[in-house]
A = this chain, B = another copy of it.
Amino acid sequence: MSDPQEKVSSKDTEEVIMEATFRALSKHGYKDLRMRDIGDEMELTRQVIHYHFDGKYDLMSAFLEHIIEQYEGSVEVDGDADPRSELDARIDQCLFGPEFEEFTHWDRMKVYHELYTYAQNDGEHRKVFNEHYDRIRGSIVEVVEDGIEQGEFRDVNVDRMGQLITDVIHAARGRRISLGHEDAPEEARRAIDEFILDSLYADA
């Protein structure tokens, strides 16, 4: 067998490993995952994984960053949208999308939520999740602030509002994954509209 490093660039190789990791995780889950399971999911030799990553933990950290990047790279911000439309789009994005060719939003979120739970004992992953949480909440806070500035929303505690919406999104995704409530994201979306976002207009 020829050296796989000659066939593909380092960036392509890492992409191939990430996709193999996705497939292996979907089959085996994180807890029982072995490096060889990932090797079984790709055409390159397994040595390539060890060349790029220093063990399972290092690979999983890279994989977590990979999911988050995919997630964030896909947020389309329309500069002309009014605050409510932009808020709606951001919430939908976190709850339902984005879609990619091979793996669905829920394939990604299963891994995301599993690693999230482990983060209690893992300083490095906890840091990654905290940064992601701050960015998601921050993006909601920003839109609410715009809305207040433009006089569309009443003057609320924006950090608390951002935290509340982020929490509801997270719980609804987790409930769909852990308890099998297929309608959890749709129901959460309706609850956010009826009971949370409506309160943005209460004194308007």
Contacts and interface: CB of A to CB of B under 8 A. Distances in A.
B117 A179 contact: no
A168 B164 contact: yes
Interface of A is mostly: helix
Size class of A's contact patch? 35 or more
Interface string A160-204: 110110111011101101111000000110111011101100100
A120 B117 CA distance: 13
Given A156-B195, A160-B187, A198-B199, A126 B178 contact: yes
A9 interface: no
Nearest to A110: B120
A191 B163 contact: yes
A164 B178 contact: no
Contacts of A168: 164, 167-168, 171
Interface in A119-148: 119-121, 126, 129-130, 133
